[in-house]
Amino acid sequence: VKDAGVLAMDIYFPPNCVLQEELETHDGVSKGKYTIGLGQDSMAFCTEVEDVISMSLTVVKTLLKNYNIDPKCIGRLEVGSETVIDKSKSIKTWLMQIFEECGNTDIEGVDSSNACYGGTAALFNCVNWVESNSWDGRYGLVVCTDSAVYAEGPARPTGGAAAIAMLIGPNAPISLESKFRGSHMAHVYDFYKPDLASEYPVVDGKLSQTCYLMALDSCYKTFCKRYEKIEGKPFSIVDADSFVFHSPYNKLVQKSFARLYYNDFLRNCSIVDKDSREKLEPYSGLSSEESYQSRDLEKVCQQVAKPLYDTKVQPTTLIPKQLGNMYTASLYAAFASVVHNKHDALVGQRIVMFSYGSGMTSTMFSFKINEGQHPFSLSNIASILDISNKLESRHVFRRRNSSRR
Ligand code: ACO
């Protein structure tokens, strides 16, 4: 099997949102805290008429319809989600309604769950299936669906909701470069949901940010090592055209890319110019522990990485900034943003993906973008995603006048 990966994508998100600047006023925090401090524009939310199941049913139906795929041609269906609807029954079983209707009950796969990482586990499972001896020639289907809601407090503005579906098969326009991969998995309590009766996670915000960045460093190191072993030359951020990050809020994405730049500086990569090298030099002696705590280092890295951020990362940020954290769907919504923004220019490019799930599980992997045959071409995927229309037709919930009569 050649070029196994993503053949087609579709996204559904709730038609409701609140503006982060209005949320700032409502929450009584300082102006700019959510928009500049977290880097978010607006936040999507489910009203009482929808949930992760209805969103995933919708996105699977629209994907099959928009790409004209017969439901009988699906042989594996995997769902990534961390929104608990039932402690035993997979969300996948609800989706089987679509396939049972046309007589297809021969579909492998169940749900994968570990915070925001489940979608990546589902993707790897489906791609591995296509590349394995048990593959029967049919398509795989990956669904990421989540609604992120937090208790009142600093984490609340980092909620969001969406569902994404991805059709998996060979000769894909978006193929996995399976050789290049780095994972970091460990045991931590940064974000978890021990209260089964509550929708809210227990979250140690600061710890979760540090865990995310530590996992990023570790995955990047392993990814670079694998790349060098196979390609016989070092990897640096110049070797990929886009970097797509799991995006709890945009500020963390800015910090993440800056962190990769810092890694390249420590590894003496030529991408780091003389001027930036001089600015970073004072921090070269920090221990890795110290480097996570240094606010000055963080600021300098963000500043020197900014020009590359603008070309390699900014086009990935559209949907996450508009919707918020979609947990398992977040990384793939960021990827959909690049497809939306740059579909004409992507063929031949390498796109590095960083998936993070608290608790913790993380992998850095890469996509290679190929030509693709209609309907599985980048331009068709972009037109079916229809991002601009979907964003523009949302209903913005406004603040009620707070003065009482
Ligand atoms: N104008 C501009 N910037 C501001 C303002 C303002 N008025 N007020 C604050 N800020 C900045 C701060 O300087 C800070 O920026 P910096 O990080 O560049 O220094 C930023 O806004 C955040 O403010 P803090 O006070 O540091 O953090 P806060 O208490 O608001 O909490 C947090 C932020 C921890 C991200 C919280 O929203 C949270 O817990 N979210 C959920 C956890 C999460 O998403 N973790 C990420 C990985 S795990 C996962 O994906 C679930």
pLDDT values of the chain reduced to their tens digit, one per residue, 405 residues: 999 999 999 999 999 999 999 999 999 999 999 999 999 999 999 999 999 999 999 999 999 999 999 999 999 999 999 998 999 999 999 999 999 999 999 999 999 999 999 999 999 999 999 999 999 999 999 999 999 999 999 999 999 999 999 999 999 999 999 999 999 999 999 999 999 899 999 999 999 999 999 999 999 999 999 999 999 999 999 999 999 999 999 999 999 999 999 999 999 989 999 999 999 999 999 999 999 999 999 999 999 999 999 999 999 999 999 999 999 999 999 999 999 999 999 999 999 999 999 999 999 999 999 999 999 999 999 999 999 999 999 999 987 764 433
Residues 6+ apart with CB under 8 A from 103: 72
What distance in Å separates the CA atoms of residue 129 and residue 90, rounded to the nearest whole number?
Answer: 19
What would the two tokens of residue 87 be? 């402690």
- Going by C-alpha positions, the residue among 299, 238, 309 that lies closest to residue 270 is 238
From the candidates 246, 298, 301, 343, give the one annotated as an active-site residue.
246
- List Cα–Cα distances, 231 to 223, 225, 239, in angstroms: 12, 10, 11
Residues 6+ apart with CB under 8 A from 375: 8, 67, 68
Atom 36 in ligand 1: which residue has the minimum CA distance?
155
Q: Measured from the CA of 30, which atom of ligand 1 is nearest?
A: 7
Q: Are strands 191-192 and 202-203 parallel, antiparallel or unpaired?
A: antiparallel
Candidates 24, 113, 208: which one to mutate for ligand 1, based on the most atoms within 8 Å of Cβ? 208
Q: Measured from the CB, is residue 154 less than 6 Å from ligand 1?
A: yes
19 and 138 Cβ atoms separated by less than 8 Å: no
What would the two tokens of residue 315 be? 């086009």
Q: Measured from the CB, is residue 156 less than 6 Å from ligand 1?
A: no
**Where in the chain are the domains?**
5-396
Residue-level pLDDT at 403: 44
How many angstroms does the Cα of residue 38 sit away from the middle of ligand 1? 5
- Categorise residue 20: left if φ over 0, alpha if ψ from -120 to 50, beta otherwise: alpha
In 10 A of CB 38, how many CB atoms?
A: 20
Q: Measured from the CB, is residue 203 less than 6 Å from ligand 1?
A: yes
For residue 13, which phi and psi values (nearest 5 degrees)?
Answer: -140, 155
- Identify each DSSP E strand in 13-159 by its residue range: 16-19, 42-44, 74-80, 111-112, 139-148
What would the two tokens of residue 61 be? 């139906």
Q: Which residues pair with 111 in a beta bridge?
A: 79
Residues 6+ apart with CB under 8 A from 337: 315, 316, 317, 318, 319, 320, 387
Q: Specify the 3-state DSSP secondary structure of 316.
A: helix
What would the two tokens of residue 306 be? 């900014």
Domain 5-396, classified CATH 1.10.1760.20, yes or no: no
323 and 160 Cβ atoms separated by less than 8 Å: yes
How many angstroms does the Cα of residue 348 sit away from the middle of ligand 1? 36
For residue 83, which phi and psi values (nearest 5 degrees)?
Answer: -90, 110
What would the two tokens of residue 228 be? 């060098």
Q: Specify the 3-state DSSP secondary structure of 337.
A: helix
Q: Measured from the CB, is residue 236 less than 6 Å from ligand 1?
A: no
How many angstroms does the Cα of residue 397 sit away from the middle of ligand 1? 23
Q: Specify the 3-state DSSP secondary structure of 356.
A: strand
Q: Measured from the CB, is residue 209 less than 6 Å from ligand 1?
A: yes
Residue-level pLDDT at 401: 60
What would the two tokens of residue 381 be? 């995927």
Q: Cis link prior to 375 (omega < 30° from 0)?
A: yes
- Is 77 buried (19+), middle (13-18) or exposed (0-12) by CB count in 10 A? buried
